[in-house]
A = this chain, B = another copy of it.
Amino acid sequence: MGIVVQKYGGSSLADASSVKRVARRIVESRRQGHDVVVAVSAMGDSTDELLDLANEVSPLPPARELDMLLTAGERISMALVAMAISDLGFTARSFTGSQAGVITDSVHGRAKIIDVTPGRISTALDEGHVVIVAGFQGVSQDTKEITTLGRGGTDTTAVALAAALHADHCEIYTDVDGVFTADPRIVPSARKLDRVSYEEMLELAACGAKILHLRCVEYARRYDIPIHVRSSFSQLEGTWVVPDAAADLPEAEDMEQAIIAGVAHDRSEAKITVVGVPDKVGEAARIFEALADAQINLDMIVQNISAAATSLTDISFTLPRADGQTAMKALAGLRDEIGFASLLYDDKIGKISLIGAGMRSHPGVSAKFFSAIAAAGVNIQMISTSEIRISVIVDEGLVDAAVAAAHSAFDLDSDEVEAVVYGGSGR
């Protein structure tokens, strides 16, 4: 049997007894004959506790030192997991990101993995050890400084290790049973997906589903690593994230291809509207250059045709709420230059996204989506689409109702998804 990479997050490693439970789980895979490599996060809330400590010491801690501090969290959990494994009669070796050969760029706090050189891991596997690797961290290529990958980075560590080691697959253990058609806290009838494609998972992650880190899915797609998202608290099969949702796994042959994978939502954005922009070549570019200069990542952008009488148009876009004030300030400085009428800011919004690779080939999905939301009495403020996603912006207080309405309109809570949609006005 080949190599399996497993990832355990902080909620699976809350205390000593859960560390021992995780160790039993790892040993089980080892007993089955796999070579096992495990990426771990810091225990429970310990990253937040370290951040609190940093903020007590300094209101604006240097990024290099913050990375040095936070990487202590995984160091603790990986050593404890290795101890618990040895207590079960197996041997384990823990390695920091640097020792494991996780090479990154030099951007502290949100470094990108450039390369993985897993020489020490391979040697340890050859010697019969279980290997435990600190997630979320690496060492910069040029400066040999300790870096972190940002929140959720341990998912990415696990997939990067799986790719570098040519693992069979990567198991992401979490505190839920898998990827659901919607957030079960909002839609209790949400159904666990057996499989979902990389593309769908990317859209789900980008649209607010917090189960997998966006970069981890991108990495898995690039290197074609199947991900198995499952609970560390049960033995149930979870959700497989795979190259193509239906085709690659033989047991999927008898299943109908689902059109819709799920409904995601996101309450972390705000909306800005630039009102009365002169409809001339280059005006929009100047607005978005100013926002780019301020390092702001935009999400949805909508511009309608201008009213013929005035030659003025309105441009709306969404962005992380945390960047709201910075963006408004950058735009206010452009007012005289561009000559727009006013700026509107609204952070009481939410985004609902319908995601499914099947919508490529099925017309009428958007009509059904919009009707369902309208029927729930929710007004749509903005719309944007990709090939396999439709997103709408609605009032923040109406997000739950809109999610539930969309979810049942597409029969996602039934066990057999056959929401084939006919007719309607195109997408």
Q: Which residues of A are in contact with B by a Cβ distance under 8 Å?
A: 16-17, 19-20, 50, 53-54, 56-62, 64-66, 68-69, 71-73, 75-76, 78-80, 82-84, 86-87, 91-94, 99, 144
B84, A64: Cβ atoms under 8 Å? no
A16, B69: Cβ atoms under 8 Å? no
This chain's copy number in the assembly: 2
Residue of B nearest to A16 (CB): B56
- Contact sample, A vs B, 17 pairs, CB 8 Å cutoff: A53-B76, A54-B83, A57-B80, A57-B84, A57-B87, A60-B87, A61-B83, A62-B86, A66-B79, A66-B83, A68-B75, A68-B82, A68-B94, A69-B80, A72-B76, A72-B79, A99-B144
Q: How far is the CA of A61 from the CA of B88 in the complex (A)?
A: 11
**A76 partner, pick from B50, B78, B79, B84, beta carbons under 8 A:** B50
Q: A54, A69, A93: which has the most chain B beta carbons within 10 Å?
A: A69
B76, A58: Cβ atoms under 8 Å? no
Q: A50, A62, A66: which has the most chain B beta carbons within 10 Å?
A: A62
Residue of B nearest to A20 (CB): B57
Residue of B nearest to A95 (CB): B68
B65, A83: Cβ atoms under 8 Å? yes
Q: How far is the CA of A281 from the CA of B18 in the complex (A)?
A: 59
B72, A72: Cβ atoms under 8 Å? yes
A80, B94: Cβ atoms under 8 Å? no
Residue of B nearest to A42 (CB): B72
**A69 partner, pick from B20, B79, B86, beta carbons under 8 A:** B79
B83, A62: Cβ atoms under 8 Å? yes
**A71 partner, pick from B16, B20, B69, B75, beta carbons under 8 A:** B75
**A19 partner, pick from B57, B66, B75, B86, beta carbons under 8 A:** B57
B80, A54: Cβ atoms under 8 Å? yes
List residues of chain B with CB within 8 A of the CB of A65: 79-80, 82-83, 86, 92, 94
Q: How far is the CA of A53 from the CA of B73 in the complex (A)?
A: 13
Q: How far is the CA of A144 from the CA of B53 in the complex (A)?
A: 31
A58, B75: Cβ atoms under 8 Å? no
A57, B72: Cβ atoms under 8 Å? no
